[in-house]
Amino acid sequence: MQYHRPPLILHPLQSRVAMRLLLAMFGAVCLAVWLSPAALPIKFAATLLALLLYVWERQKLRCRTGIERLVLKADGDWELLFDDGRRVDVPAARMRAYVMPNFIRLSFDSRLRLSLFPDSLEADSFRALKVRLYGEQDR
């Protein structure tokens, strides 16, 4: 029995979970560097490099991909609205999703990806997206 599903409209937000994971990852790298038997100048250089990478990655997370709104249509196609006003339609065949209980990774093409954590969307929207994506994977 085929039924009509309304489009799912999502407004992604900046995730605190992603920021904390990023900080933990770079903190672990710095800890490993300082516990290593390397010379002191090498430890300082590696720490500075890790700090620069952390700031760069944090800025990328903060800027996101510029996606203001995502619309998952009933047929599985996606409509992306960017904050500069551009609108991109992505057919269901080109979109890939990786779904876990507390993480969703949407890949629309080789350069445009979006990572969503539970705090990236409203709770009901996050749940509805997981249900829809699980249903798409079963087909």
* pLDDT tens digit sequence for 58-115: 777 666 567 889 999 988 899 999 888 889 899 988 889 999 989 999 988 877 888 8
Q: What does the alpha-carbon distance between residue 71 and residue 122 come to, in Å, rounded to a whole number?
A: 15
For residues 54 and 65, which has the higher predicted lDDT (pLDDT)? Answer: 54
Mean per-residue pLDDT over the chain, rounded: 85
Whether the Cβ atoms of residue 61 and residue 113 lie closer than 8 Å to each other? no
For residue 136, pLDDT over 80 is answered with no
Phi then psi dihedrals of residue 72, to 5 deg: -95, 110
Strands (E), the chain: 8-10, 67-72, 78-82, 87-90, 96-100, 103-107, 113-116
Q: What is the mean pLDDT of residues 35-45?
A: 91
Beta bridge partners of 61: none
